[in-house]
Structures are given as structure tokens and as C-alpha cells.
């Protein structure tokens, strides 16, 4: 018998009636773009993430690009980020003409290593070619980065901090969401993310109204927003007064309507994921693998449950024969991917990242993983002696 790696159908069965009604309401209204559900969802998302404001957009990649555009980050600027992440994290940096600088991660949490970040910033300053501007921390696999340490460095160096919480939206550290430390927290509603929609979507959370206004302009072709209209009158739709070069990055009303229903059960699903993670940790205790460690005071949303094994590929093949799907996040770190290999790296390289790429293995993880299936996974891992 086979099982799914991420079972989206189980959730859909649970709320299908509500989803159908929400979609039907959008179809009836005809407000397919920027309908009232978009604002309603933004308000609810902000409240969930302890933010004053949320700005929805087309995907989690644009969500990282929008604050970079709004801050005017560009050529000659350095943006520090991990290499052990999905391509979207560094990808947006060259979009705006800036340079990503790759920094190693901590061996236990897979998240940005503050000491290595410190060294990378010092290295860039000593070289004198680039100006440090922004740090992008990633909440990899669902758990918060070490925000207190990273924020202290950003404050000392005058750098902006982005929390790329595409995998970690809903995670907390000492009860606070990443935005408590970051200037913006971004997320993705790609279907397989902990809070996913039925297509592409993303959002930026911030406490800064001025930044929100600017990003609102950038997401709609640089349309005029309130600050642009101070001291002038414009009697037409402000979409047709273009005050900067923007893009088209809106969340569809249908996706917002779907997300309102999914957000309503999100906290419960986070708790279910924690139960699954606890059962893995208990069941795999003493097996010859490393189970995930969450930062002290942290609560993960468990986008992935990632174990480590010396013979990772052997273990994956063994599990496959038992009908158990696994995945490798990430087999090739970003700093060695061809289009990124010429970008700078922190001095001393990224040995932890390179080692992790060889050993990590993600197990089936979703809120509705049946205990019997999970026991089968645990037993199969324990039976592997390769």
C-alpha cells in the first residue's frame, strides 16, 4: 500500500463544502481581481501573523522581491542569505541588480548561522566593492531562524531584515512571529506549503504603512498610491498614473476566498503537524539517524520533517520499496548551482550546507498523516541497516 508525501486531498475532503461556496461567491460577484475577499484575507492573515498589515501578491517569490524594490535595493548592494534554501530566496536579488552573498547554516537547525553572517558582512565591508543592505533569513522546513541574534547584527550594521517564511508562516519564537524582529515577513501559498491555496499566491507582512503603500504600488504597475498624491489632484483611476516601474503581482480573488477558509483551520493543522512530529521523534529515538532539532523557544509549523542519514540514498531506496515516498530538500545548494556559482560566499565557504545536501531526507508530513501509516514509516526506517 502506498501513501502520499503531502496529502492535500484529506484537507480538501474536510472543507470541500466551504471551498465550493467560497468559489461560487466569487463567480457570482464577478470581482475576480482585487475583490473584497482579498482585503478580508489580508486583514485576517495580518492578525494571524501578529502584524499591522499584510499585502497579498502573486507568489512567495514576488513577496521577497517587493520589499527589495520598495527599499530601492539595486546594483552595488549586497543581500546576505543562506544557500541551503529554495531558489526563490536568492533569485530575486539579481532581479533588482543587487548581489546575493551566500552564508552557511547552523548544523542543528539548518537555519542561517549568525556568526557566519557576521563574518560575511565583515568580509564584504573589508573588500569594499559592495554595500551591505539586506539580510534574508529563511525559516527552513517550518522553524524560525535565530531572529534575536540576526536582528542584533542587522541593527548594528544598519541592514534591513526579511524573514522568508514561505515554509514557516505560523512559526513562533518565544511566542512571537518572525515579524517581531524582521522588517517584513514573506510567505507563499503554493499548494504544498503549510498554508497553501489552489494555485500560486504569496504575501508580505509588515508593521510599516509607508512600506505597505509602496509595495501596493509596485504590485500594480507602479500605480500612484496615497503618498504620491500628496499635494496633487488626479481625477482618474490611480492605476493610470504610474509613478514608478512596477509589476503585476496580485493574489486572485478566488485564491483569497479559498485561503480565508484554509486560514480558519490553520492553527488546528499546525497543532496536528506538531503531533505528527512528536510521534516521529518518539518512534525514531535511538535509530541511527538524526531527527530534527528546533531552536530553543521555537515552534515549527513542520513544512517538512527532515532526518539525516549517512546512507541517505540507500535509505530512500529502501523506503521506496515499501511504498513510502521521501524527498531531498535540497540536493544541490544554491551557491553551487550554475547561475549562482559566481556570486560571493562568506569566507570559509559553506561546509555545513555542502555536508547537509548529502544527508538530508524529508519524510511524509502533513496534518492528516494516519498513525498506522506513520508507524509503518517508523518501522521501515528502524529496519534499515545500510
Ligand X SMILES: *Cc1c(COP(=O)(O)O)cnc(C)c1O
Cis, bond preceding 330 (omega within 30 deg of 0): yes
Applying CB under 6 A, what is the total number of residues that bind ligand X? 15
Task: Please report whether residue 252 would count as binding ligand X according to CB under 6 A.
Answer: no
Is residue 302 near ligand X by the rule CB under 6 A?
no
Residue 353 interacts with ligand X (CB under 6 A)? Answer: no
Q: Alpha carbon of 383 to those of 289, 340, 379: distances in Å?
A: 12, 40, 6
Of 86 and 343, nearer to ligand X (C-beta) is 86
- Using CB under 6 A as the binding rule, the residues of this chain from 40 to 59 that contact ligand X are 59
Residue among 66 and 214 whose Cβ is closer to ligand X: 66
Q: Cβ atoms within 10 A of the Cβ of 230, count?
A: 6
Between 90 and 364, whose beta carbon lies closer to ligand X?
90
Question: Helix crossing, 147-157 with 114-127: angle to 10°?
Answer: 20
Q: Is 99 in the site for ligand X (CB under 6 A)?
A: no
Q: Applying CB under 6 A, which part among 81-89, 253-261, 279-287, 366-374 lies near ligand X?
A: 81-89
Binding ligand X (rule: CB under 6 A), the pick from 22, 88, 195, 307 is: 88
200, 228, 308, 373: which one binds ligand X (CB under 6 A): 200
How many Å apart are CA 138 and CA 124, to the nearest integer? 21
188 binds ligand X (CB under 6 A): yes
Please give the Cα distance from 168 to 139 (Å, whole number): 5
Q: Cα torsion at 204, 206, 212, 215 (round to 10°)?
A: -30
Task: Bin 348: left if φ > 0, else alpha if -120 < ψ < 50, else beta.
Answer: left
CB atoms within 10 A of CB 87: 14
CB of 24 to ligand X, least distance (A): 26
Rounded-to-10 torsion of CA 171, 108, 134, 347: 180
CB nearer to ligand X: give 200 or 216: 200
Within residues 123-162, the interface with ligand X by CB under 6 A covers 138
Q: How far is the CB of 335 from ligand X (least distance, A)?
A: 15
Interface with ligand X (CB under 6 A): 59-61, 85-86, 88-89, 138, 164, 166-167, 188, 190, 200, 202
Amino acid at each position: 500500500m502506498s501513501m502520499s508525501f503531502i496529502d492535500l486531498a484529506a484537507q480538501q475532503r474536510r472543507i470541500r463544502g466551504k471551498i465550493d461556496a467560497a468559489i461560487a461567491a466569487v463567480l457570482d460577484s464577478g470581482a475576480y481581481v482585487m475583490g473584497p475577499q482579498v482585503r478580508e484575507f489580508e486583514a485576517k492573515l495580518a492578525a494571524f501573523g501578529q502584524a499591522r498589515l499584510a499585502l497579498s501578491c502573486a507568489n512567495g517569490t514576488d513577496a521577497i522581491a517587493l520589499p527589495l524594490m520598495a527599499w530601492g535595493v539595486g546594483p552595488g548592494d549586497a543581500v546576505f542569505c543562506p544557500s541551503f534554501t529554495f531558489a526563490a530566496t536568492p533569485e530575486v536579488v539579481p532581479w533588482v541588480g543587487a548581489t546575493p552573498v551566500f552564508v552557511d547554516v547552523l548544523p542543528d537547525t539548518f537555519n542561517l548561522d549568525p556568526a557566519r553572517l557576521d563574518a560575511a558582512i565583515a568580509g564584504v565591508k573589508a573588500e569594499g566593492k559592495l554595500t551591505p543592505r539586506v539580510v534574508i533569513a529563511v525559516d527552513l522546513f517550518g522553524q524560525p531562524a535565530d531572529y534575536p541574534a540576526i536582528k542584533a547584527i542587522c541593527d548594528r550594521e544598519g541592514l534591513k531584515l526579511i524573514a522568508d517564511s514561505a515554509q514557516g508562516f505560523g512559526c513562533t519564537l518565544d511566542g512571537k512571529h518572525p515579524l517581531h524582529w524582521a522588517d517584513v515577513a514573506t510567505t507563499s501559498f503554493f499548494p504544498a506549503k503549510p498554508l497553501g491555496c489552489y494555485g500560486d499566491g504569496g504575501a508580505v507582512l509588515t508593521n510599516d504603512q509607508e512600506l505597505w503603500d509602496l509595495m501596493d504600488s509596485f504590485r500594480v504597475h507602479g500605480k500612484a498610491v496615497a503618498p504620491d498624491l500628496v499635494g496633487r489632484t488626479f481625477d482618474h483611476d490611480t492605476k493610470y498614473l504610474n509613478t514608478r516601474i512596477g509589476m503585476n503581482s496580485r493574489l486572485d480573488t478566488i485564491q483569497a476566498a479559498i485561503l480565508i477558509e484554509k486560514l480558519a483551520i490553520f492553527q488546528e493543522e499546525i497543532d496536528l503537524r506538531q503531533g505528527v512530529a512528536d510521534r516521529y521523534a518518539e518512534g525514531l529515538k535511538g535509530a541511527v539517524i538524526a531527527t530534527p532539532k528546533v531552536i530553543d523557544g521555537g515552534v515549527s509549523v513542520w513544512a517538512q520533517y527532515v532526518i539525516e542519514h549517512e546512507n541517505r540514498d540507500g535509505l530512500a531506496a529502501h523506503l521506496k520499496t515499501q511504498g513510502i515516498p521521501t524527498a531531498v530538500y535540497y540536493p544541490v545548494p544554491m551557491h553551487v548551482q550554475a547561475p549562482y556559482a559566481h556570486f560571493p560566499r562568506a569566507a570559509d565557504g559553506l561546509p555545513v550546507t555542502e555536508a547537509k545536501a548529502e544527508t538530508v531526507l524529508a519524510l511524509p508530513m502533513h496534518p492528516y498523516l494516519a498513525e498506522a501509516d506513520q508507524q509503518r514509516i517508523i518501522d521501515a526506517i528502524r529496519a534499515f541497516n545500510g
